[in-house]
Amino acid sequence: MAMNWRQTVVPDMFDNDIVPFWNGLKQHKFMLSRCRHCGAHYWPMALCPKHEDNTFDDMEWTPTSGRGKIFAWEVVHKVKTPAIEHELPYALVLVELDEGPIFATRLAGRSPPGLTIGLPVEIAYEDVPETGLTLPLFKLST
């Protein structure tokens, strides 16, 4: 039996500094790293370049809107993995989050028609009981 791709995303894959992001998802919160000084958000976690001598102590994980717009997209029509053929076509997207960072993800379900740059999207939490994780897919905003 082929494994569902969702079960291939496991906690062992994450660096320690990204664990708060995944813990937030479990609570259906979309967390980004934010600078305590100027409020700028970053993904993935990074030091804010606007201040000299910044350290990771100057950054904090904080819940955000989980909203943004399509920055770029691609619809996948063909795969070499039989286990996910039934999900075709699906859309891979770069989301420009309202807070600024670009987030790479996939739209939940089959790709809707009419995707365009600038279309508003929002987080679509997908719980995966087998791994205990929640995946940060996105969907078109209604």
Contacts 24+ apart (CB under 8 A), 70-75: 70/94, 70/95, 70/96, 70/115, 70/116, 70/117, 70/118, 70/119, 70/121, 71/95, 71/96, 71/102, 71/117, 72/117, 73/115, 73/117, 75/111, 75/115
**Tokens representing residue 26 in the block:** 């479990």
Structure-token match 């370049």, residue found: 49
Q: Nearer Cβ to Zn ion, position 33 or 105?
A: 33
In the bound state with Zn ion, the residue whose beta carbon lies nearer, of 48 and 70, is 48
Name the minimum Å distance from CB 59 to Zn ion: 9
Alpha-carbon gap, residue 118 to 26, rounded angstroms: 28
Rounded to the nearest whole angstrom, what is the least distance from the CB of residue 40 to Zn ion in the complex? 5
Nearest CB to Zn ion, comparing residues 38 and 83: 38
Based on CB atoms, which residue is closest to Zn ion, 101 or 136? 101
- Closer residue to Zn ion (CB): 23 or 54: 54
For the bound state, the minimum distance from the C-beta of residue 50 to Zn ion, rounded and expressed in Å, comes to: 4
Which positions touch Zn ion (CB under 5 A)?
A: 35, 37-38, 40, 48, 50
Which tokens in the block code for residue 22?
């995944």
Alpha helices in the chain (DSSP H): 19-26
Minimum distance of Zn ion from residue 37's CB (angstroms):
5
- For the CB of residue 32, give the shortest distance to Zn ion in the complex, in Å: 13
